[in-house]
Amino acid sequence: MRLFQKYQWNEVAILYYAVRSDMIPRCSLIMSDLETLMNDNPNTTMTYRRRLQNFTDSSVKDALRSIKGVSRVTVICLEAVEAARRNLFISIAEEGMDTDEYMYLLVETRKTGFNESWKLKNGTADGKDSIALAGARKFFIIDSQPVNTSTQFVADVQAKMLQPPYNCLDCTDFNPVSLETVAVGLFSSACPKSFIEQYLAIIIVAVVVPVVIILAAALFIVRWRKQEEERLNALWQIPFIMLTKPNAKSDARSSRSLQSIITTSTKLTIDSKKVMRNVVDHDNLCKFLGLSLDGPLMLSVWRYCGRGSLKVKITFYGLNAIKAIEVKELTDNLWLAPEHIRDPSMAPSRQGDIYSFAIVCSEIITKKSAWDLENQDYDLEELIYKIRRGGRSPIRPALETEDEHNSSLSLLVKDCWSEEIDMRPCCDQVKSLIRSLNHNKSSNLMDHVFTVLEQYASNLEDEVQARMKELTEEKKKSDILLYRMLPKQVAERLKSGQPVEPETFECVTLFFSDVVSFTTLASRCTPLQVVNLLNDLYTVFDAIIDEHDVYKVETIGDGYLCVSGLPHRNGNDHAKEIAEMSFELLRAIKTFRVPHLPTEKINIRVGLHTGAVVTGVVGMTMPRYCLFGDAVNTASRMESNGKPGRVHISTETMKFLTVVIGGYKTEPRGEVIVKGKGALETHWLLTPEEQERMFIE
């Protein structure tokens, strides 16, 4: 039973097998005694009890299955040979009851429990010794170990003989004292001294030194506390001479950082000193710095709290003993609870603070001063009288506003200024209700501010992205316009602030054209019509240029200058590109009509020349990409000496088209007197239409 109590085994099963006659019922007696003990112990319950009539595998396994559902601890007693015990071990293992969840107690009284009963002693080996061992490991065997008393006694005697005084190596090694010396010592000064006489000096030192140390430590602690008290008292005492008067620009700061109290005595009570020592330091409290007591007035000094802070700052708290002698203004009672107005000597209370909180909330809701006295028919004294009087329907500020607000907030405020003190909620309830009113909103002001700032930042980011998109679009437009005025690589260098160095192109083909009789045509049009005419004409030309590797340099009046082979070199294709473009321009001219002169036709002269030029950007204001060189002048002379509707080319261009490129037909014109050049051999470039007409002729 002690084993059950130690391991708190409260539910136990009993299984036993008796083969003897009723004359010697060993297992029956053991189980009967165990059942009696369990009945006497209320903490232990027998959940299963069975006596096996026949010890067979089926009967044992049937009993084990019944035990599995009701108990984890089983007491077993077997009146059988070791073979029966081995069969029990095997049945337990085969039923899966050899885990740590089960414990078996085997009760034996024959001193045969501690042997290798899981092994097969007789018969043919069945290979189940390991299974029987697994089941045997879960058994706790209670039995007595056989002892050979005679052998144990001999061993004990031998062990004792090895110990003193039987085994003694220095038994004769001692200093004997004569009987005479002993007798004389009993009656003379040779008697031994007492403990106190021998160690008196040591005892005195051991007692006096700790006492001296304790007294010195006590004196030091008393002195240190006194000095610390003086130091702490000096922390909040500010000499009057150290105070300076603020200038006129900081009068508002002075009124809030220096509070004057008129009094006839500078003596502070003990309670006030305790409050001064416990200086409160909190983010929402203006820190108390100290008092000035040696001046004509008692002054309390507080740390200045500047305007514009989002934090609520509470000041002039504490110092109740000092405030008791302060002359209060009548307006201070507007926020004071009715019970405190009736009894000014009443100590401050949390219920009174809740009432004051409600008055402040009414100011926030209505966005007006407390009680809105400016718009009331009664004066301040009458209002204070009505507040003090109370009653069933006490006077309270009006909460009606033009703007909508949460009605639950109004109910909370009304509960806070209830006339019944016990009906007012506590601070924790107020905080909880305010949080519940804010559902998905921030729980405090700073969280709300952060939320607003995050929303503003998000909106600002969206706006910045929109502006960046607009800026990108405008930049694209400006780049397109810039690339139309200047070559792209030149524009990029100018945008990056890099200088544009002049560049030489050894071989390019230039195109000059001019409107025939443009002066006569312009005289028949208004200036606006002339501009529209040239714009329509050059729009047609620009569309054709975009289809060829040709760069438009400029237009001067009715003159049109193009070039191929720059700013991108294209090998020997520059003459081909200019020739094909000239053909398409002549075809387009035949179908072009003047809007305001439908019957009038436009014709142009075209001149081409191939040679070397130098390019560069000229000027800072309205920079232009210009061409320089004799080839430009020669191309201009080819145009001015040409004929309407014909392409006049130089010998250099003719060689490129007929020899280098091939496939083009030219017609010699002969020598032409060119200004600044003399006589030059020139040619006509035949268009496909002219070649076809000549072939027909």
Q: Minimal CA–CA distance to 82: which of 52, 116, 51?
A: 116
Phi-psi region of 468 (alpha: psi -120 to 50; beta: other; left: phi over 0): alpha
CB 143 within 8 A of CB 113: yes
> Which of the four pLDDT bands, split at 50, 70 and 90, describes residue 50?
confident
pLDDT at 269: 46
Residues 6+ apart with CB under 8 A from 130: none
Class of domain 330-438: mainly alpha
The Cα-based distances of 16 to 72, 95, 97, 336 in angstroms read 16, 18, 18, 87
Least Cα distance to 683 among 644, 645, 653, 640 occurs for: 653
pLDDT for 608: 92
Q: Any bridge partners for residue 532, and if so which?
A: none
| pLDDT reported for residue 264 | 36
| Biggest distance spanned by C-alpha atoms of the chain | 182
What single-letter amino acid sits at 527? P
Show the DSSP H helices in 486-572 as ranges.
Answer: 488-495, 518-523, 527-545
* Full-model pTM: 0.38
At the fourth CATH level, the homologous superfamily of domain 499-696 is: Nucleotide cyclase, GGDEF domain (3.30.70.1230)
- Segment 447-467 mean pLDDT: 81
Q: Which residues pair with 272 in a beta bridge?
A: none
Q: Shortest CA distance to 232 belongs to which of 240, 222, 224?
A: 224
Q: Report the length, in residues, of the chain.
A: 697
Residue position matching structure tokens 């500078």: 266
Residue-wise pLDDT for 594-644, tens only, equals 877 877 888 888 999 999 999 888 877 777 888 888 888 888 888 888 888
Distance (Å, whole) CA 317 – CA 339? 20
Pairing of strands 73-78, 103-107: parallel
Question: Rounded distance, CA 691 to CA 682, Å?
Answer: 18
Contact 12, 38 (CB under 8 A): yes
SS3 614: strand
Each residue's pLDDT tens digit, 129-157: 788 888 888 788 877 665 555 667 777 77
CB burial readout 452-491, b (16+ within 10 A) else e = eeeeeeeeeeeeeeeeeeeeeeeeeeeeeebeeebbeebb
18 Cβ contact list (under 8 Å, min separation 6): 25, 26, 27, 28, 51, 79
CATH topology of domain 2-142: Rossmann fold (3.40.50)
The percent of residues above 70 in pLDDT, for the chain, comes to 81
What residues pair up with 510 in beta bridges, in sequence order? 563, 609
Question: What is residue 251's predicted lDDT score, i.e. its pLDDT?
Answer: 45
Question: DSSP labels for 301-369?
Answer: EE----TT-SS--B-S-S-HHHHTTSPPPGGGGGGS-HHHHH-TTSPP-HHHHHHHHHHHHHHHHHTS-
Q: What is the pLDDT of residue 247?
A: 63
pLDDT of residue 20: 61
